[in-house]
Amino acid sequence: MTTTPKPKFKNPRAKFNYQGRPCSISGVGSYVPERILSNAELEKLVETSDEWITTRTGIKERRLAAPGEFTSDLGAKAALKAIQRAGIKPEQIDLIIVATITPDMPFPSTAALIQAKIGATRAAAFDLEAACSGFIYALEIGQQFIMSRTYETVLVIGAEKLSSIVDWEDRNTCVLFGDGAGAVVLQNRPNTHGLLTAVMGADGTKADLLFMAGGGSRCPATTESVASRMHYLRMEGKETFKNAVQAMQTAAEEALRRCELDITRIKRIIPHQANRRIIDAVGDRLGAKPEQMFVNVHKYGNTSAASVAIALDEAVESGSIQRGDLILLVVFGAGLTWGAAVIEW
Ligand SMILES: CC(C)(COP(=O)(O)OP(=O)(O)OC[C@H]1O[C@@H](n2cnc3c(N)ncnc32)[C@H](O)[C@@H]1OP(=O)(O)O)[C@@H](O)C(=O)NCCC(=O)NCCS
């Protein structure tokens, strides 16, 4: 008589015969600090004008975190809203991913700090750095854990306190950025496709277009590095602009192509909110109608990894996205990095 040999170990991943499942956004939330910094106030800080900022960028105002308010505070507030809207408890969260370039500290991760602040006691936590593209990178990574059935509930947050790395003496950059956070809860929702595809890309040969030189292993903080203002972000505006338009168009078209979708089938396009002119140029190149583009850059400026997450929350809140709609997110940032995602909402 032959007996089946006892397996030497168990492979937990075999439980569902390696079959994947779709991943949906079951809740979205955002938070921006109360303090509004208007273009008129910036006129008092640097040689600029409301007229210049408005015509070149479309930005009218941005938010500033309070002195004792950090990226983890903004992220935690956005997360709690997303958790409440998803109808879950913080203890249900298996994993927290925070996309940010302005972590509270180099380590521990801002994700770990948020884990403690929201009481997500069971959750693993880590940060991800893909600059302004971070939210789509984090969405795609979080999606993998749901699809593979490794986890049931993943919290993805984009949170930034960019006011802490903006050079308030540099008119080329200080008018562009703001603080804020957005968050989504990822889960499997039966009978919904959720995230259909996500394109991610990078080109490190153009890293010098947008960077912060100080504070890393190449240039740790010294009195000299501080004196030469290396702990502030620097940007080559014109080149960044051109690359942004091109990369966002290419990424969006690739995402649509993969889903065999025409732009007319997309209810709402939520682009990274860096500059109104970039948004308009990307919309034009994609052949989108102006009413398809969701825009809130006038209120918040560029909030980097938080940008599309905040815009997504506002689009849902305002009713411009309904369950069942197809939406397209498209981002661009330092690295260079870019990304696009198609979602059945
Ligand atoms: C920064 C940006 C708004 C500048 O707009 P632009 O149309 O390229 O501006 P221009 O290069 O034509 O004009 C620059 C001139 O305006 C001046 N300028 C720059 N900032 C100014 C400000 N806040 N107020 C007034 N003048 C300003 C510059 O000194 C320069 O003057 P000069 O020609 O005498 O040297 C634009 O390049 C941009 O949005 N780039 C992409 C930024 C971005 O999205 N970054 C993040 C990507 S995630």
311: which 2 tokens?
């815009």
Per-residue model confidence as pLDDT tens digits over 144-184: 999 999 999 999 999 999 999 999 999 999 999 999 999 99
- What contacts 103, CB < 8 A, 6 or more positions away? 71, 109, 110, 127
Identify residue 143 by its one-letter amino acid code: Q
Residue 7 has pLDDT above 80, yes or no: no
Q: Choose one of 137, 167, 172 to mutate for the ligand 1 pocket test, by most ligand atoms within 8 angstroms of C-beta.
A: 172
- Taking the C-alpha atoms of residue 55 and residue 23, their distance in angstroms, rounded to an integer, is 40
Per-residue model confidence as pLDDT tens digits over 288-308: 999 999 999 999 999 999 999
Confidence label for 6 from pLDDT (cuts 50, 70 and 90): confident
Q: Write out the catalytic residue numbers.
A: 132, 272, 302
Confidence label for 15 from pLDDT (cuts 50, 70 and 90): confident
The predicted structure's pLDDT at residue 2: 72
User: Over the chain, what is the mean pLDDT?
Assistant: 96
From ligand 1's centre to the CA of 239, what distance in Å?
10
The predicted structure's pLDDT at residue 1: 66
- Residue with the smallest CA separation from ligand 1 atom 44 is 274
- Residue with the smallest CA separation from ligand 1 atom 28 is 172
From ligand 1's centre to the CA of 336, what distance in Å?
19
Query: pLDDT over 70 for what percent of the chain?
Result: 100
Which ligand 1 atom sits closest to the C-alpha of 274? 44
Which ligand 1 atom sits closest to the C-alpha of 48? 24
Which ligand 1 atom sits closest to the C-alpha of 272? 48
The predicted structure's pLDDT at residue 208: 98
Query: pLDDT over 90 for what percent of the chain?
Result: 94
Peptide bond into 186 cis (omega under 30): no
From ligand 1's centre to the CA of 57, what distance in Å?
9
- Residue with the smallest CA separation from ligand 1 atom 10 is 238
- Taking the C-alpha atoms of residue 101 and residue 108, their distance in angstroms, rounded to an integer, is 14
- Taking the C-alpha atoms of residue 22 and residue 184, their distance in angstroms, rounded to an integer, is 16
Per-residue model confidence as pLDDT tens digits over 234-270: 999 999 999 999 999 999 999 999 999 999 999 999 9
- Residue with the smallest CA separation from ligand 1 atom 19 is 172
* Residue that has been written with the tokens 């940010």 in this structure: 100
Q: What's the pTM value of the predicted model, to 2 decimals? A: 0.96
Which ligand 1 atom sits closest to the C-alpha of 175? 23
- Taking the C-alpha atoms of residue 320 and residue 160, their distance in angstroms, rounded to an integer, is 25
Ligand 1 pocket by Cβ (under 6 Å): 48, 52-53, 56-57, 132, 171-172, 175, 235, 237-238, 240-241, 244, 274-275, 278, 302, 332-333
Helix (H, G, I), strand (E, B) or coil at 199: strand
